[in-house]
Amino acid sequence: MTDPDPFRVVFVCTGNICRSPMAEVVFRDLAERAGVADRVRSTSAGTGDWHVGERADQRTLAALERRGYDGSAHRAKQFTVTAFHENDLVIALDRTHERILRHWAHREEHRDRISLLTSYDPAAAAPDVPDPYYADDRAFDDALAMIESASRALFRQLEPAIRPPRSAH
């Protein structure tokens, strides 16, 4: 018996250099810590193409590092319609991204895969993870804190389906 394909999650923000790379790294870390990294694939993309191929914003990398994460391997890419076919879940970081993704999803099954990250977190103070790009380091730390909380809630919801069944002895 072969292992099933991994559950694939893509996190989407504007340029794929601030919020979505944070979510990708945090979610991957949650899977690694839970021992299910081989069963989950976490990626990210932007709705725009301005930063394709670039590293995450230096302030993103610094915020991640302050919290013990490594975002150095990230390279920005743009979300394309084929990503709907390649992912089981498409997570928007704010309602603008959610609207754009719903507009791009031409099939009901693809629209059903789209959700807002904060919708998984009952403690979320706002529906959108604010874009820290034009702000200071604290805004990056605050965005990361929101992403961590919502990602933990998302992971808790998905984990029973991701975790391999226990073998009977």
Judge contact between 74 and 11, C-beta under 8 A. Answer: no
Catalytic residue among 13, 57, 94, 128: 13
- Distance, in Å, from the CA atom of 167 to the CA atom of 161, rounded to the nearest integer, reads 15
- Amino acid identity of residue 48, one-letter, is G
| 109's tokens | 């099954």
| Secondary structure class of 16 (helix, strand, coil) | coil
HSE value, Cβ hemisphere, 13 Å, CA-based, for 64: 25
Neighbours of 63 (CB within 10 A): 26
- Distance, in Å, from the CA atom of 37 to the CA atom of 71, rounded to the nearest integer, reads 16
H or E stretch at 71: none
| 137 is an active site residue | no
| 19 is an active site residue | yes
| 13 is an active site residue | yes
Catalytic residue among 8, 67, 111, 131: 131
Of 69, 75, 53, 50, nearest to 133 (Cα)?
50
Catalytic residue among 19, 39, 59, 113: 19
- Distance, in Å, from the CA atom of 99 to the CA atom of 139, rounded to the nearest integer, reads 24
Q: Please list the active-site residues.
A: 13, 19, 131
